[in-house]
Structure 1
Amino acid sequence: MRRRDVTRGDGTWVGLSLDVPGRREPGLCVFSAERRLLLAQQSRTVLLAVVDEHLQDVDFWRTDKYRSFVPPLRAETSHGDYWRSMLVEGHPDGYIDWFLHAGSWEVLPLRPMPDAEDGRGEAYRKQAREGTLPPVLLWWVSGLDCHLILDGHARLAAAIAESVEPPLLQLHRTMPGDEPAAGIDDAVSLYASELARFARLRAAHGPTVPDRTATAGPRLARALHDLDTAERPTWAWPLPGGEAEWRRIAREVTGNWGPAPAPDRG
Protein backbone atom coordinates (compact mmCIF):
# COMPACT_ATOMS: atom_id res chain seq x y z
CA MET A 1 0.00 0.00 0.00
CA ARG A 2 1.32 3.44 -0.95
CA ARG A 3 0.46 6.34 1.37
CA ARG A 4 0.58 10.00 0.42
CA ASP A 5 -0.54 13.18 2.17
CA VAL A 6 -3.14 15.28 0.36
CA THR A 7 -2.72 19.02 0.83
CA ARG A 8 -4.29 22.25 -0.35
CA GLY A 9 -2.39 24.71 -2.51
CA ASP A 10 -1.11 26.45 0.64
CA GLY A 11 0.25 23.17 2.05
CA THR A 12 -2.56 22.61 4.58
CA TRP A 13 -3.08 18.88 5.22
CA VAL A 14 -6.60 17.76 4.24
CA GLY A 15 -6.33 13.99 3.99
CA LEU A 16 -4.42 10.83 3.31
CA SER A 17 -4.42 9.05 -0.06
CA LEU A 18 -4.00 5.27 0.04
CA ASP A 19 -3.19 3.49 -3.22
CA VAL A 20 -3.99 -0.22 -2.78
CA PRO A 21 -2.57 -2.40 -5.58
CA GLY A 22 -4.38 -5.50 -6.78
CA ARG A 23 -7.90 -4.31 -5.86
CA ARG A 24 -8.84 -7.61 -4.27
CA GLU A 25 -12.32 -8.10 -2.86
CA PRO A 26 -12.17 -6.36 0.54
CA GLY A 27 -13.54 -7.61 3.85
CA LEU A 28 -16.26 -4.93 3.75
CA CYS A 29 -17.64 -5.03 0.24
CA VAL A 30 -20.52 -3.68 -1.84
CA PHE A 31 -22.10 -6.16 -4.27
CA SER A 32 -24.53 -5.16 -7.01
CA ALA A 33 -27.28 -6.94 -8.96
CA GLU A 34 -29.04 -4.49 -11.29
CA ARG A 35 -30.78 -1.99 -8.97
CA ARG A 36 -30.06 -4.09 -5.87
CA LEU A 37 -27.10 -3.62 -3.54
CA LEU A 38 -25.74 -5.83 -0.79
CA LEU A 39 -23.14 -4.76 1.77
CA ALA A 40 -21.29 -7.72 3.25
CA GLN A 41 -18.68 -7.92 6.00
CA GLN A 42 -16.75 -11.12 5.45
CA SER A 43 -19.58 -13.70 5.17
CA ARG A 44 -22.14 -11.59 7.06
CA THR A 45 -24.86 -9.67 5.22
CA VAL A 46 -24.91 -6.18 6.76
CA LEU A 47 -27.23 -4.16 4.52
CA LEU A 48 -29.68 -4.88 1.70
CA ALA A 49 -30.84 -2.03 -0.53
CA VAL A 50 -33.04 -1.50 -3.59
CA VAL A 51 -32.80 1.66 -5.70
CA ASP A 52 -36.18 2.98 -6.82
CA GLU A 53 -36.72 2.54 -10.57
CA HIS A 54 -37.39 6.29 -10.87
CA LEU A 55 -34.19 7.08 -8.88
CA GLN A 56 -36.07 8.92 -6.13
CA ASP A 57 -35.06 6.86 -3.09
CA VAL A 58 -33.41 3.71 -1.79
CA ASP A 59 -35.19 1.15 0.41
CA PHE A 60 -32.89 -0.62 2.85
CA TRP A 61 -32.82 -3.34 5.49
CA ARG A 62 -30.15 -3.44 8.20
CA THR A 63 -29.33 -6.82 9.70
CA ASP A 64 -27.63 -5.54 12.89
CA LYS A 65 -24.63 -7.79 12.11
CA TYR A 66 -22.13 -5.03 11.33
CA ARG A 67 -19.07 -4.97 13.60
CA SER A 68 -16.64 -2.06 13.56
CA PHE A 69 -13.18 -3.02 12.35
CA VAL A 70 -11.66 -0.28 14.51
CA PRO A 71 -10.63 -1.46 18.02
CA PRO A 72 -12.90 -0.03 20.74
CA LEU A 73 -11.77 3.35 22.05
CA ARG A 74 -11.65 3.87 25.80
CA ALA A 75 -13.48 6.97 26.96
CA GLU A 76 -11.87 8.42 30.08
CA THR A 77 -13.75 8.77 33.12
CA SER A 78 -27.48 24.16 17.23
CA HIS A 79 -25.04 21.33 15.71
CA GLY A 80 -27.18 18.67 17.28
CA ASP A 81 -30.34 19.49 15.33
CA TYR A 82 -28.41 19.54 12.05
CA TRP A 83 -26.74 16.18 12.57
CA ARG A 84 -29.94 14.65 13.90
CA SER A 85 -31.64 15.68 10.66
CA MET A 86 -28.80 14.13 8.63
CA LEU A 87 -29.31 10.66 10.13
CA VAL A 88 -31.37 8.23 8.05
CA GLU A 89 -34.05 6.77 10.31
CA GLY A 90 -35.57 3.31 10.31
CA HIS A 91 -34.67 -0.04 11.84
CA PRO A 92 -34.42 -2.64 10.63
CA ASP A 93 -35.81 -1.15 7.41
CA GLY A 94 -36.32 2.33 6.00
CA TYR A 95 -35.50 4.39 2.93
CA ILE A 96 -33.00 7.00 1.78
CA ASP A 97 -34.97 9.79 0.14
CA TRP A 98 -33.16 11.00 -2.98
CA PHE A 99 -36.16 13.11 -4.06
CA LEU A 100 -36.06 15.47 -1.06
CA HIS A 101 -32.43 15.08 -0.03
CA ALA A 102 -30.56 14.88 -3.34
CA GLY A 103 -26.97 15.93 -2.77
CA SER A 104 -27.41 16.49 0.97
CA TRP A 105 -25.10 13.59 1.85
CA GLU A 106 -27.16 11.94 4.56
CA VAL A 107 -25.67 9.51 7.10
CA LEU A 108 -26.90 5.93 7.50
CA PRO A 109 -25.94 4.15 10.73
CA LEU A 110 -25.18 0.45 10.26
CA ARG A 111 -26.83 -0.31 13.59
CA PRO A 112 -29.36 1.54 15.78
CA MET A 113 -27.91 4.69 17.33
CA PRO A 114 -27.00 4.01 20.99
CA ASP A 115 -28.37 5.82 24.01
CA ALA A 116 -26.26 8.86 24.83
CA GLU A 117 -27.44 8.69 28.46
CA ASP A 118 -25.72 5.44 29.49
CA GLY A 119 -22.29 5.31 31.14
CA ARG A 120 -20.29 5.11 27.93
CA GLY A 121 -22.44 7.80 26.34
CA GLU A 122 -21.90 10.13 29.30
CA ALA A 123 -18.14 9.68 29.02
CA TYR A 124 -18.24 10.54 25.33
CA ARG A 125 -20.48 13.54 26.04
CA LYS A 126 -17.86 14.84 28.46
CA GLN A 127 -15.24 14.49 25.71
CA ALA A 128 -17.57 16.26 23.26
CA ARG A 129 -17.93 19.20 25.66
CA GLU A 130 -14.16 19.35 26.17
CA GLY A 131 -13.37 19.12 22.45
CA THR A 132 -11.45 15.83 22.82
CA LEU A 133 -13.95 13.44 21.19
CA PRO A 134 -12.25 10.98 18.79
CA PRO A 135 -13.47 11.25 15.19
CA VAL A 136 -16.38 9.38 13.63
CA LEU A 137 -15.36 7.29 10.60
CA LEU A 138 -17.71 7.67 7.60
CA TRP A 139 -17.64 5.86 4.25
CA TRP A 140 -19.14 7.56 1.20
CA VAL A 141 -20.99 4.92 -0.90
CA SER A 142 -22.01 6.43 -4.23
CA GLY A 143 -24.59 3.72 -5.00
CA LEU A 144 -26.56 4.79 -1.91
CA ASP A 145 -25.74 8.51 -2.30
CA CYS A 146 -25.03 8.73 1.41
CA HIS A 147 -22.43 8.01 4.08
CA LEU A 148 -22.30 4.84 6.17
CA ILE A 149 -21.01 5.00 9.76
CA LEU A 150 -18.15 2.51 9.97
CA ASP A 151 -17.04 3.46 13.47
CA GLY A 152 -18.25 5.94 16.07
CA HIS A 153 -22.02 5.44 16.45
CA ALA A 154 -21.80 6.23 20.18
CA ARG A 155 -19.48 9.20 19.62
CA LEU A 156 -21.84 10.71 17.05
CA ALA A 157 -24.78 10.22 19.43
CA ALA A 158 -22.80 12.04 22.14
CA ALA A 159 -21.96 14.96 19.83
CA ILE A 160 -25.62 15.27 18.82
CA ALA A 161 -26.73 15.20 22.47
CA GLU A 162 -24.25 17.98 23.31
CA SER A 163 -25.11 19.93 20.12
CA VAL A 164 -21.47 20.15 19.03
CA GLU A 165 -19.90 19.58 15.62
CA PRO A 166 -18.59 15.99 15.59
CA PRO A 167 -15.01 15.42 14.39
CA LEU A 168 -15.14 13.34 11.21
CA LEU A 169 -12.92 11.19 9.02
CA GLN A 170 -14.42 10.52 5.58
CA LEU A 171 -13.37 7.54 3.50
CA HIS A 172 -14.07 7.71 -0.22
CA ARG A 173 -12.62 6.33 -3.43
CA THR A 174 -10.37 8.56 -5.51
CA MET A 175 -8.72 8.02 -8.87
CA PRO A 176 -6.48 4.91 -8.84
CA GLY A 177 -2.76 5.65 -8.97
CA ASP A 178 -2.37 4.24 -12.46
CA GLU A 179 -4.98 6.57 -14.01
CA PRO A 180 -3.96 10.23 -13.34
CA ALA A 181 -1.50 10.40 -16.25
CA ALA A 182 -4.32 10.62 -18.80
CA GLY A 183 -6.11 13.20 -16.66
CA ILE A 184 -2.93 15.30 -16.40
CA ASP A 185 -2.49 15.20 -20.17
CA ASP A 186 -6.11 16.31 -20.69
CA ALA A 187 -5.85 19.16 -18.18
CA VAL A 188 -2.57 20.47 -19.61
CA SER A 189 -3.91 20.18 -23.18
CA LEU A 190 -7.00 22.20 -22.23
CA TYR A 191 -4.81 24.81 -20.53
CA ALA A 192 -2.55 25.13 -23.60
CA SER A 193 -5.45 25.34 -26.05
CA GLU A 194 -7.12 28.05 -23.94
CA LEU A 195 -3.95 30.17 -23.91
CA ALA A 196 -3.47 29.64 -27.65
CA ARG A 197 -7.08 30.71 -28.33
CA PHE A 198 -6.61 33.96 -26.43
CA ALA A 199 -3.23 34.56 -28.09
CA ARG A 200 -5.02 34.47 -31.45
CA LEU A 201 -7.64 36.90 -30.16
CA ARG A 202 -4.95 39.27 -28.90
CA ALA A 203 -3.19 39.12 -32.29
CA ALA A 204 -6.43 40.01 -34.05
CA HIS A 205 -7.84 42.59 -31.62
CA GLY A 206 -4.87 43.98 -29.72
CA PRO A 207 -3.69 43.99 -26.10
CA THR A 208 -7.14 44.93 -24.73
CA VAL A 209 -7.92 41.20 -24.89
CA PRO A 210 -6.60 39.50 -21.71
CA ASP A 211 -4.01 36.75 -22.13
CA ARG A 212 -6.12 34.44 -19.91
CA THR A 213 -3.26 33.25 -17.72
CA ALA A 214 -4.89 34.82 -14.64
CA THR A 215 -7.85 32.44 -14.89
CA ALA A 216 -6.47 29.48 -16.83
CA GLY A 217 -3.60 28.96 -14.39
CA PRO A 218 -5.78 28.55 -11.27
CA ARG A 219 -8.20 26.38 -13.26
CA LEU A 220 -5.31 24.08 -14.21
CA ALA A 221 -4.19 23.94 -10.58
CA ARG A 222 -7.70 22.96 -9.43
CA ALA A 223 -7.96 20.31 -12.15
CA LEU A 224 -4.63 18.76 -11.12
CA HIS A 225 -5.61 18.88 -7.44
CA ASP A 226 -8.93 17.18 -8.18
CA LEU A 227 -7.11 14.27 -9.77
CA ASP A 228 -5.85 13.46 -6.26
CA THR A 229 -8.90 14.34 -4.19
CA ALA A 230 -12.13 14.24 -6.22
CA GLU A 231 -14.54 11.44 -5.34
CA ARG A 232 -15.01 8.54 -7.72
CA PRO A 233 -17.87 6.03 -7.74
CA THR A 234 -17.56 3.31 -5.11
CA TRP A 235 -16.30 -0.04 -6.36
CA ALA A 236 -19.07 -2.69 -6.35
CA TRP A 237 -18.52 -6.34 -7.20
CA PRO A 238 -21.14 -8.22 -9.27
CA LEU A 239 -23.11 -10.44 -6.91
CA PRO A 240 -22.65 -14.09 -7.97
CA GLY A 241 -26.08 -15.34 -9.01
CA GLY A 242 -27.36 -11.83 -9.70
CA GLU A 243 -30.81 -10.65 -8.69
CA ALA A 244 -32.07 -14.17 -7.94
CA GLU A 245 -29.30 -14.65 -5.36
CA TRP A 246 -29.99 -11.21 -3.87
CA ARG A 247 -33.65 -12.17 -3.43
CA ARG A 248 -32.69 -15.51 -1.84
CA ILE A 249 -30.39 -13.75 0.65
CA ALA A 250 -33.10 -11.17 1.39
CA ARG A 251 -35.62 -13.93 2.21
CA GLU A 252 -33.08 -15.75 4.37
CA VAL A 253 -32.02 -12.65 6.28
CA THR A 254 -35.31 -10.77 6.64
CA GLY A 255 -38.07 -13.35 6.33
CA ASN A 256 -40.22 -11.70 3.69
CA TRP A 257 -39.00 -8.13 3.32
CA GLY A 258 -39.72 -6.14 0.22
CA PRO A 259 -39.45 -2.40 -0.45
CA ALA A 260 -42.59 -0.53 0.55
CA PRO A 261 -44.22 1.87 -1.91
CA ALA A 262 -42.59 5.29 -1.87
CA PRO A 263 -44.48 7.90 0.19
CA ASP A 264 -46.82 10.25 -1.62
CA ARG A 265 -44.97 13.50 -2.25
CA GLY A 266 -47.80 15.23 -4.02
Structure 2
Amino acid sequence: MTASGTTEPVISLRGVRADLGARPVLRGIDLTVHRGEVVALLGANGSGKSTAVRTVIGQVPIGSGEIELFGTPRRRFRDWARIGYVPQRTTAAGGVPATVTEVVSSGRLSRTRFGVFRKGDREAVRHALDLVGMADRARDNVDALSGGQHQRVLIARALASEPELLIMDEPMAGVDLASQEVLAQTLKNQVAAGTTVLLVLHELGPLEPLIDRAVVLRDGCVQHDGPPPKAAASTPPLSASLERGDPQPGHDHVHPHAPAGAEPMRTGLLS
Protein backbone atom coordinates (compact mmCIF):
# COMPACT_ATOMS: atom_id res chain seq x y z
CA MET A 1 0.00 0.00 0.00
CA THR A 2 1.05 3.52 -0.73
CA ALA A 3 2.43 5.96 1.79
CA SER A 4 -0.24 8.60 1.40
CA GLY A 5 1.90 11.47 2.61
CA THR A 6 4.35 11.17 -0.30
CA THR A 7 2.01 10.81 -3.28
CA GLU A 8 0.24 13.41 -5.37
CA PRO A 9 -3.47 14.04 -4.92
CA VAL A 10 -5.66 12.47 -7.59
CA ILE A 11 -8.85 13.87 -6.04
CA SER A 12 -9.03 16.96 -3.87
CA LEU A 13 -12.22 18.45 -2.41
CA ARG A 14 -11.93 21.54 -0.25
CA GLY A 15 -14.93 23.03 1.51
CA VAL A 16 -17.36 21.51 -0.99
CA ARG A 17 -21.01 22.30 -0.49
CA ALA A 18 -23.83 20.97 -2.67
CA ASP A 19 -27.62 21.04 -2.64
CA LEU A 20 -30.17 18.73 -4.22
CA GLY A 21 -33.16 20.95 -4.88
CA ALA A 22 -33.49 23.12 -1.81
CA ARG A 23 -31.94 20.53 0.50
CA PRO A 24 -28.30 20.91 1.58
CA VAL A 25 -26.56 17.54 1.09
CA LEU A 26 -22.85 18.35 1.39
CA ARG A 27 -22.01 20.90 4.07
CA GLY A 28 -18.40 21.81 3.40
CA ILE A 29 -16.49 18.53 3.07
CA ASP A 30 -12.75 18.10 2.61
CA LEU A 31 -11.52 14.93 0.95
CA THR A 32 -8.15 14.04 -0.54
CA VAL A 33 -7.34 10.79 -2.34
CA HIS A 34 -3.71 10.24 -3.23
CA ARG A 35 -2.31 8.20 -6.10
CA GLY A 36 -2.52 4.47 -5.41
CA GLU A 37 -4.89 4.80 -2.45
CA VAL A 38 -8.13 2.87 -1.98
CA VAL A 39 -10.58 5.06 -0.07
CA ALA A 40 -14.07 3.99 1.05
CA LEU A 41 -16.88 6.49 1.61
CA LEU A 42 -19.16 5.16 4.34
CA GLY A 43 -22.27 6.48 6.03
CA ALA A 44 -25.99 6.05 6.53
CA ASN A 45 -28.48 6.47 3.70
CA GLY A 46 -28.79 10.19 2.96
CA SER A 47 -25.40 11.08 4.45
CA GLY A 48 -24.11 12.43 1.12
CA LYS A 49 -21.89 9.57 -0.09
CA SER A 50 -23.24 9.26 -3.63
CA THR A 51 -23.62 13.01 -3.97
CA ALA A 52 -19.96 13.43 -3.05
CA VAL A 53 -18.72 11.15 -5.85
CA ARG A 54 -21.18 12.66 -8.32
CA THR A 55 -19.75 16.13 -7.59
CA VAL A 56 -16.30 14.74 -8.39
CA ILE A 57 -17.34 13.69 -11.91
CA GLY A 58 -19.49 16.77 -12.48
CA GLN A 59 -22.95 15.18 -12.34
CA VAL A 60 -23.94 17.35 -9.37
CA PRO A 61 -22.98 21.06 -9.37
CA ILE A 62 -21.33 22.44 -6.27
CA GLY A 63 -22.55 25.54 -4.48
CA SER A 64 -19.13 26.48 -3.16
CA GLY A 65 -15.69 25.02 -2.57
CA GLU A 66 -13.06 23.61 -4.89
CA ILE A 67 -12.58 20.25 -6.64
CA GLU A 68 -9.36 19.21 -8.40
CA LEU A 69 -8.67 16.08 -10.46
CA PHE A 70 -5.04 15.14 -11.05
CA GLY A 71 -4.07 18.65 -9.91
CA THR A 72 -6.42 20.41 -12.37
CA PRO A 73 -9.55 22.33 -11.31
CA ARG A 74 -12.50 20.15 -12.30
CA ARG A 75 -14.08 22.92 -14.37
CA ARG A 76 -10.99 22.82 -16.63
CA PHE A 77 -10.42 19.05 -16.51
CA ARG A 78 -10.93 17.38 -19.91
CA ASP A 79 -8.96 14.11 -19.76
CA TRP A 80 -11.92 11.94 -18.71
CA ALA A 81 -10.38 8.78 -20.17
CA ARG A 82 -8.21 8.72 -17.03
CA ILE A 83 -11.33 8.14 -14.90
CA GLY A 84 -13.61 5.11 -14.86
CA TYR A 85 -16.99 5.54 -13.18
CA VAL A 86 -19.35 2.77 -12.07
CA PRO A 87 -22.76 4.19 -11.08
CA GLN A 88 -25.21 2.55 -8.71
CA ARG A 89 -26.53 -0.54 -10.43
CA THR A 90 -28.93 0.19 -13.24
CA THR A 91 -29.88 -1.63 -16.43
CA ALA A 92 -26.54 -1.73 -18.22
CA ALA A 93 -27.95 -0.67 -21.60
CA GLY A 94 -30.35 1.93 -20.19
CA GLY A 95 -33.34 0.18 -21.77
CA VAL A 96 -31.78 0.08 -25.27
CA PRO A 97 -31.23 -3.40 -26.80
CA ALA A 98 -27.48 -4.02 -26.75
CA THR A 99 -24.99 -6.82 -26.42
CA VAL A 100 -22.50 -7.11 -23.59
CA THR A 101 -19.67 -6.17 -25.97
CA GLU A 102 -21.53 -3.08 -27.19
CA VAL A 103 -22.08 -1.81 -23.66
CA VAL A 104 -18.47 -2.40 -22.61
CA SER A 105 -17.21 -0.85 -25.87
CA SER A 106 -19.01 2.40 -25.00
CA GLY A 107 -16.55 2.78 -22.14
CA ARG A 108 -13.67 2.79 -24.63
CA LEU A 109 -14.96 5.68 -26.75
CA SER A 110 -12.99 8.26 -24.77
CA ARG A 111 -9.77 6.57 -25.92
CA THR A 112 -10.69 6.41 -29.61
CA ARG A 113 -10.25 8.98 -32.37
CA PHE A 114 -13.62 10.03 -33.79
CA GLY A 115 -15.20 6.86 -32.36
CA VAL A 116 -13.24 4.57 -34.69
CA PHE A 117 -12.19 1.34 -32.97
CA ARG A 118 -8.76 -0.03 -33.77
CA LYS A 119 -7.15 -3.32 -32.81
CA GLY A 120 -5.91 -1.97 -29.47
CA ASP A 121 -9.40 -0.75 -28.58
CA ARG A 122 -11.00 -4.12 -29.33
CA GLU A 123 -8.31 -5.86 -27.28
CA ALA A 124 -8.96 -3.50 -24.35
CA VAL A 125 -12.67 -4.38 -24.47
CA ARG A 126 -11.93 -8.11 -24.53
CA HIS A 127 -9.49 -7.72 -21.65
CA ALA A 128 -12.06 -5.81 -19.58
CA LEU A 129 -14.57 -8.63 -20.14
CA ASP A 130 -11.95 -11.19 -19.11
CA LEU A 131 -11.24 -9.24 -15.91
CA VAL A 132 -14.84 -9.53 -14.76
CA GLY A 133 -15.39 -13.08 -15.97
CA MET A 134 -17.89 -12.15 -18.70
CA ALA A 135 -15.95 -13.04 -21.87
CA ASP A 136 -18.21 -16.05 -22.46
CA ARG A 137 -21.27 -13.74 -22.51
CA ALA A 138 -19.78 -11.16 -24.89
CA ARG A 139 -22.39 -11.68 -27.63
CA ASP A 140 -25.38 -11.97 -25.29
CA ASN A 141 -27.99 -9.27 -24.93
CA VAL A 142 -27.63 -7.54 -21.59
CA ASP A 143 -31.34 -8.02 -20.94
CA ALA A 144 -30.59 -11.74 -20.46
CA LEU A 145 -28.17 -11.13 -17.58
CA SER A 146 -28.67 -11.45 -13.84
CA GLY A 147 -28.24 -8.47 -11.52
CA GLY A 148 -24.71 -9.52 -10.58
CA GLN A 149 -23.78 -9.97 -14.23
CA HIS A 150 -25.17 -6.51 -15.04
CA GLN A 151 -22.86 -5.10 -12.41
CA ARG A 152 -19.88 -6.92 -13.88
CA VAL A 153 -20.68 -5.40 -17.27
CA LEU A 154 -20.84 -1.90 -15.79
CA ILE A 155 -17.45 -2.44 -14.16
CA ALA A 156 -15.99 -3.81 -17.40
CA ARG A 157 -17.30 -0.69 -19.17
CA ALA A 158 -15.39 1.48 -16.68
CA LEU A 159 -12.24 -0.63 -17.03
CA ALA A 160 -12.28 -0.56 -20.84
CA SER A 161 -10.68 2.89 -20.90
CA GLU A 162 -7.82 1.57 -18.72
CA PRO A 163 -8.39 4.32 -16.12
CA GLU A 164 -5.90 5.59 -13.58
CA LEU A 165 -8.76 6.44 -11.19
CA LEU A 166 -11.75 4.17 -10.60
CA ILE A 167 -14.83 5.61 -8.87
CA MET A 168 -17.51 3.09 -7.87
CA ASP A 169 -20.87 3.84 -6.27
CA GLU A 170 -22.15 0.88 -4.19
CA PRO A 171 -20.58 -1.78 -6.46
CA MET A 172 -21.68 -4.65 -4.19
CA ALA A 173 -25.30 -3.55 -3.65
CA GLY A 174 -27.76 -6.29 -4.58
CA VAL A 175 -25.03 -8.50 -6.03
CA ASP A 176 -24.93 -12.26 -5.45
CA LEU A 177 -22.04 -13.79 -3.53
CA ALA A 178 -20.36 -15.30 -6.61
CA SER A 179 -20.30 -11.90 -8.34
CA GLN A 180 -19.08 -10.21 -5.14
CA GLU A 181 -16.08 -12.53 -5.12
CA VAL A 182 -15.37 -11.85 -8.81
CA LEU A 183 -15.65 -8.10 -8.28
CA ALA A 184 -13.41 -8.19 -5.21
CA GLN A 185 -10.73 -10.08 -7.18
CA THR A 186 -11.09 -7.69 -10.12
CA LEU A 187 -10.60 -4.72 -7.84
CA LYS A 188 -7.63 -6.40 -6.14
CA ASN A 189 -5.97 -6.80 -9.55
CA GLN A 190 -6.62 -3.15 -10.42
CA VAL A 191 -5.16 -1.96 -7.13
CA ALA A 192 -2.09 -4.16 -7.63
CA ALA A 193 -1.61 -2.51 -11.02
CA GLY A 194 -1.57 0.93 -9.36
CA THR A 195 -5.14 2.12 -9.96
CA THR A 196 -6.45 4.70 -7.47
CA VAL A 197 -9.92 3.81 -6.16
CA LEU A 198 -12.73 5.76 -4.49
CA LEU A 199 -15.64 3.55 -3.39
CA VAL A 200 -19.04 4.29 -1.95
CA LEU A 201 -19.91 1.36 0.31
CA HIS A 202 -22.66 0.46 2.76
CA GLU A 203 -20.63 -2.42 4.18
CA LEU A 204 -16.92 -3.12 3.72
CA GLY A 205 -17.60 -6.82 3.13
CA PRO A 206 -15.11 -8.68 0.93
CA LEU A 207 -13.42 -5.40 -0.04
CA GLU A 208 -12.23 -4.68 3.51
CA PRO A 209 -8.65 -6.01 2.99
CA LEU A 210 -8.14 -3.57 0.11
CA ILE A 211 -9.25 -0.40 1.92
CA ASP A 212 -6.49 2.02 2.98
CA ARG A 213 -8.75 4.69 4.48
CA ALA A 214 -12.37 5.12 5.37
CA VAL A 215 -14.15 8.46 5.26
CA VAL A 216 -17.43 8.36 7.18
CA LEU A 217 -20.03 10.99 6.27
CA ARG A 218 -22.92 12.04 8.47
CA ASP A 219 -25.43 14.71 7.49
CA GLY A 220 -23.13 15.93 4.74
CA CYS A 221 -20.11 16.35 7.02
CA VAL A 222 -16.96 14.27 7.46
CA GLN A 223 -17.32 12.42 10.75
CA HIS A 224 -14.21 10.24 10.49
CA ASP A 225 -11.19 10.10 8.17
CA GLY A 226 -8.68 7.42 8.96
CA PRO A 227 -8.31 3.66 9.34
CA PRO A 228 -11.37 1.61 8.32
CA PRO A 229 -13.71 0.94 11.26
CA LYS A 230 -13.11 -2.49 12.79
CA ALA A 231 -16.31 -4.07 14.04
CA ALA A 232 -15.92 -6.82 16.62
CA ALA A 233 -18.04 -9.95 16.18
CA SER A 234 -20.21 -8.98 19.16
CA THR A 235 -20.98 -5.46 17.89
CA PRO A 236 -23.94 -4.55 15.65
CA PRO A 237 -23.35 -4.56 11.87
CA LEU A 238 -21.54 -1.50 10.55
CA SER A 239 -24.60 -0.33 8.59
CA ALA A 240 -26.79 -0.36 11.70
CA SER A 241 -24.13 1.50 13.67
CA LEU A 242 -23.83 4.15 10.97
CA GLU A 243 -27.58 4.56 10.75
CA ARG A 244 -27.67 5.41 14.47
CA GLY A 245 -24.60 7.63 14.25
CA ASP A 246 -22.68 5.57 16.80
CA PRO A 247 -19.04 6.54 17.31
CA GLN A 248 -16.84 4.40 15.09
CA PRO A 249 -13.96 2.29 16.35
CA GLY A 250 -10.92 4.44 15.81
CA HIS A 251 -13.22 7.49 15.71
CA ASP A 252 -10.67 9.82 17.22
CA HIS A 253 -11.17 13.31 15.83
CA VAL A 254 -12.68 16.32 17.62
CA HIS A 255 -16.33 16.96 16.76
CA PRO A 256 -17.35 20.46 15.66
CA HIS A 257 -19.24 20.73 18.96
CA ALA A 258 -16.41 19.44 21.14
CA PRO A 259 -15.40 21.61 24.12
CA ALA A 260 -12.86 24.31 23.42
CA GLY A 261 -9.30 23.07 23.84
CA ALA A 262 -10.14 19.45 23.10
CA GLU A 263 -7.12 17.70 21.59
CA PRO A 264 -7.57 15.55 18.48
CA MET A 265 -5.65 12.30 18.28
CA ARG A 266 -3.79 11.24 15.15
CA THR A 267 -6.18 9.79 12.56
CA GLY A 268 -4.24 9.91 9.33
CA LEU A 269 -6.46 12.79 8.16
CA LEU A 270 -5.06 14.17 4.94
CA SER A 271 -4.70 17.88 4.43
Q: Please confirm whether the aligned pair reaches a TM-score higher than 0.5, indicating the same fold.
A: no
TM-score interval (norm. to shorter)? under 0.3
TM-score, with normalisation over the residues of structure 1?
Answer: 0.24
Higher-Rg structure is 1
